[in-house]
């Protein structure tokens, strides 16, 4: 069984990852075709899983970029599949654990030298309505660049209003990280996500928070 982690244990709402597989579209399509996925179908698979009684979703997408290359998107969400991918019957998009493990093995044989871009989200319960804004304006999102010691952007931090109510804090490291060496793809990214969770829970503007967020990805 794939070792999908417990996001809520670290206070993570979701972890999203994307990378570019140079020249890898044919290999990826062929891989899934052998496992019964018709090439004319949507390139999307997902599965639900539970941790401590809380429903989670793991998903995988891929798309043609250019010259036979593929952009791959995968991640975990601390919500059930019907909320993450509505109007898509899970039985038609089922991501089997064995196939996901084999897919990660395939990707290690392809060229993903540009690295992986990460995006983490965390529930944010603090009031954002006090931020100055024009009359009759509604805040949808607020973004900041977190700078490193050389004053270069290290992390993008965005507070986003959710349609269902409430806010999330989205943390996007500027630097990409190499494809994980561990057989469990999510092990290293999860450890980073938990480290970022500790930093994001500190009060905004705190110098310790700024340093923790800007140095965690490295």
| φ and ψ of 83, to 5 deg | -90, -35
* Residue 181 CB neighbour total at 10 angstroms: 8
Kindly give the pairing relationship between strand 44-51 and strand 14-21: unpaired
Instruction: Report the C-alpha gap between 54 and 174 in whole angstroms.
Output: 31
pLDDT grade, residue 119 (50/70/90)? very high
Domain ranges of the chain: 8-215
pLDDT at 34 (0 to 100)? 96
Chain segment 60-115, per-residue pLDDT in tens: 999 999 889 999 999 999 999 999 999 999 999 999 999 999 999 999 999 999 99
Phi, psi of 96 (to 5 degrees): -85, 140
Which of 26-40, 79-93, 124-138, 194-208 is least confident? 194-208
The percent of residues in the chain predicted with pLDDT above 90, rounded, is: 70
Query: Which residues, 6 or more positions from 21, have their beta carbon under 8 angstroms from its beta carbon?
Result: 27, 28, 62, 69, 70, 71, 72, 107, 110, 111, 112
For the ranges 55-64, 96-105, 124-133, 134-143, the lowest mean pLDDT is seen at: 124-133
Read off the pLDDT of each residue in 28-48 and give the average, rounded to a whole number: 95
- The DSSP code for 105 is H
The whole model's pTM is what? 0.87
Q: How confident is the model at residue 214 (pLDDT cuts 50, 70, 90)?
A: low
How confident is the model at residue 2, as a pLDDT? Answer: 57
pLDDT at position 1 over 50? no
């Amino acid at each position: 069984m794939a070792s999908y982690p417990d996001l809520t244990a670290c206070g993570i709402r979701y972890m999203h990852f994307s990378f570019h597989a140079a020249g890898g579209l044919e290999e990826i399509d062929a891989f899934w075709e052998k496992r019964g996925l018709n090439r004319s179908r949507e390139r999307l698979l997902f599965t639900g899983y539970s941790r401590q009684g809380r429903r989670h979703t793991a998903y995988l997408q891929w798309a043609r970029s250019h010259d036979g290359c593929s952009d791959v998107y995968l991640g975990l969400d601390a919500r059930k599949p019907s909320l993450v991918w509505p109007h898509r019957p899970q039985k038609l998009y089922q991501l089997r654990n064995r196939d996901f493990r084999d897919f990660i093995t395939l990707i290690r044989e392809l060229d993903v030298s540009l690295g992986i871009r990460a995006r983490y989200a965390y529930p944010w319960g603090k009031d954002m309505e006090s931020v100055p804004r024009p009359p009759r304006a509604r805040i949808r999102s607020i973004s900041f660049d977190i700078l490193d010691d050389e004053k270069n952007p290290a992390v993008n931090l965005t507070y986003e209003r959710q349609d269902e109510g409430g806010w999330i804090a989205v943390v996007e490291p500027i630097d990409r990280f190499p494809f994980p060496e561990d057989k469990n793809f999510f092990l290293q990214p999860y450890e980073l996500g938990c480290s970022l969770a500790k930093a994001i829970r500190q009060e905004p503007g705190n110098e310790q928070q700024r340093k923790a967020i800007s140095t965690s990805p490295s």
